Structure formats: structure tokens, C-alpha cells
Amino acid sequence: MIFRILAAAGAVGLWSGDTLAQTQDPCDASPAAPVLTLAEATNRARGADLRPEAIAAAVEAARAEARIAEYGPPDTVTLQTEDFPGIGLGEDVDNLQVTGSYNHTWERGGKKAARRAVASRGLEVARSALALTEAEIAYEVETLYLEAALATRRAEISCDRLAITTRLENEIRDRVQAARDPELAASRARADRLAAKGEVSRSRRLAAAQKAQLAAYWGGTGAFAVETAFLDEVQRAADDGMSIENAAQIRRLEAMEREAAALADLARAQAAPNVTWSVGVRNFGFEDDVALVTGISVPLRTGRRAEAAHAKAAAERRQAEAVTAAARQRLMREAMGYRRAAEDALLGLESLEAELLPEARRALDLAQSGYRRGAFTYLNVTDAQESLTALREDRLELLRTYYVNMAALRRLVAPGATAPDTESVQ
């Protein structure tokens, strides 16, 4: 009997020594931080990300290429000399002849129009990368924002668990003092409270780390709060605008396909040989006479080379068409997989929220009330509490599965340019 009294006194001493720690609740409300919405985070990230600048530079390079396409082979001026004065007996004879001529190349086969088309299609390809990059940035920010919101909600679950374990510890203290529970229950309650407190600290650190990682996209700090209301009631996303036909990836591949077709047309135009004509003046040194000279130059044996170049360009065009078709098939499969995973997560959420969570909450209430009446043990209460906590964690994991797959689907079907570029390149 004396040992039991001493043990109870020791337990009371532990409780009194731990009172200060209990008063320092890690879940106490801290100063409210400004709330940063997902749209604001996305705008900040887009404004600070350098990837769009690289695309803008590529667009400027494509514009410069379009200006270059306006110019054909440059005209040339030729100066020729022959019959230099000799030496010896012929050194007094000035028979030097000088010829100056102007040369112009006549482009045949529509080469200039073909170059313009290639440059225009290249400009489309450069511009098409912007929609892809913006979709990628939005996806990265959305997933990080989601992880920060989930970490915040997990911290709230940990705080709820800490509140329950703290209340149970206080109740067990009274029961131990009244000799209604053994000292072992007191030690178990204290250990559970300390474990819950440690889980709160870990969850808070994880949430802070997620916000800091998100803020790194615009060089900021994690001194903000994220919205979590969207985790309370999930709205089923509509299928409108979720078609891959207007996806930026498909539009970019189609632009590359049109560029390959323009290159094939250019290769066909190159089959027609250019003609260079010249006109000039020749001065005959001996008599100092002047004559008009003209000329024409036509390359020979260009047919085989042109045929090979055209065959190569045509093969590259077919390759681009095949790549586009394969990408469309792949994107369709991926979109179906994302939709299926999101739908499965929604079904799991509906079952969890309609049946399992209400029953788990009811079981915890019954266990707590029964424990106060002496009908249940402390272990019955902790089992009910752990079951409820596990179900709430399962709900967050299902929410994560749903939102991650929907974010991936939105990135996949993010719209690109809906029509070929028709800007006149001057």
C-alpha cells in the first residue's frame, strides 16, 4: 500500500513538473499571416521565372530569321584584268584589258516564297513554347501550393490529437489520484501527449518548409498562410476544356509539322537552278577602246542533289506527322489515366466522408463518455482516437491524389495557339 501511495505521489510530481510544458501549447494561435491565394502565387512565379524570357529571345531570333528570308543571293560587282605589260621587248606595249561587271542572280522555283514560309513556321514553333512553359509553371506552383495546404491541414489534425491527449491526461490524473486507474495509465497518457506534441512540431516544420519552397519561385519567404477551404468540400471538375485537341503540346507539334512541310517545299524549290546574268564594260588598253560585255551562268548537274535533298525533307515531314500522331495517342492515354485516378479518389472520398468518418467520430465520443463512466479503459479511447486520426490522414491522401491528378490533367490539356501564325513578316 505504501508503494502505491509513493508511486501516485511520484506521478503527481511528474504532472506538476510538466505543467509548464503543457501551458506552452505549440498549437496556440500565432499572429495571423497574410493569406496568399493560388492565383497570386502563380502570378508571382510567372513574373519571376526566367523561362519565358528565354522563349522571348527565341521568338526574336525567329523574327530576325524572317527578315533574313526576304533577301536572296546578294548582287556582286566583278573587276577583272588581263594582258599585263610584258618585260623585255614587250615592255613598251600597253595591252592591259580591264573588265568591270555587275552580276545579279535570278532565283527560280519560288525560293523566296518558300523561305518566307519556313521563317513564318519557325516563328510559330518559337511562340508555341510559351503556352507550354506557362502551363508548366502553373503546374509546379499548384502542386507546391497543394502540398503546403495539406501540410497545414495535417498540423491541424495533430493539434486536435494533442488537445484530446491533453484532456485525457488531465482526466487520468484525477482517476489515478482517486485510485480508479493504475499509474501505468498515467505514464501511457503522458507519453501519448508528448508524442502528439512532437507530431505537431514536425507538421508545423513541414508546412513551413513547403511554403518556403513555394516562395522560392519568386525569391520570397514563407511568411504567409495558404488557403485550405478547398480541402473541405471537393467540387467535381467539369470536362469542358479538357480535350487534348487544343492542348499546347499538340499545337506545338502541329507547328513543327507545318515547319517540316515548309522545309520540304523549300527543298523542292531548290531543285530549280538559279540563273546569274552579268553586264559590264571592258577597256582595251592598246587602242583604249571600250566595249559592252554580257554573260550568263547556269549551274549544271543539280538535279540529283536536289532530288536527294527533297527526299530527305519529305522524310522529315513524314516523321513530324508520325510524331504528332504518336503524341496525340500518348496524351490521350495519359489524360485517361489522370481522369481515372481522380475519379477513383473522389469515390473513395465519398465513401470515407459518408460512412467511415462519421462512425469513427461517434466511436470516439462513445469511448470518451464510456471512459468517464468507467465502462471503457484508456486503451479503448486511444484506439478510437487513432482510428479517427488515421481516417483523417487517409482523407488528406485521397485529396492529394485527386488534386495532383487534376493538376497534371490541366497541364496536359493546357490550350495553345488555336490557329497558324498569319503575321506578315517584313
pLDDT at residue 86 in the model: 60
The pLDDT, as a whole number, for residue 31 is 65
| pLDDT tens for each residue of the chain, 426 residues long | 433 443 444 444 444 445 434 445 667 666 678 999 999 999 999 999 999 999 999 999 999 999 988 888 888 999 988 876 665 555 565 677 888 999 998 888 888 899 999 999 999 999 999 999 999 999 999 999 999 999 999 999 999 889 888 888 888 888 778 777 777 878 888 888 899 899 899 999 999 999 999 999 999 988 899 999 998 888 776 665 567 888 888 889 889 999 999 988 888 888 888 899 999 998 887 677 888 899 998 888 777 777 888 888 889 889 888 988 998 899 899 999 999 999 999 999 999 999 999 999 999 899 888 888 878 888 888 889 889 999 999 999 999 999 999 999 999 988 876 545 444 443
**Helix (H) or strand (E) run with residue 125 in it:** helix 111-177
pLDDT number for residue 214: 94
Q: Which three cell numbers stand for residue 97?
A: 584589258
Lookup result for grid cell 492542348: 247
Q: Which residues pair with residue 290 across a beta bridge?
A: 283
Among candidate residues 192, 209, 191, the one with its CA nearest the CA of residue 155: 209
Per-residue confidence (pLDDT) for residue 126, from 0 to 100: 92
CA 57 to chain centre: 20
CA distance 39 to 140: 13
Q: Which helix (H) or strand (E) holds 284?
A: strand 275-284
The domain made up of 33-412 is a member of CATH 3.40.50.2000: no
What span, in angstroms and rounded, lies between the C-alpha atoms of 314 and 270? 13
Q: Where exactly are the structural domains of the chain? A: 33-412
Sign of the Cα torsion 265, 270, 271, 274 reads positive
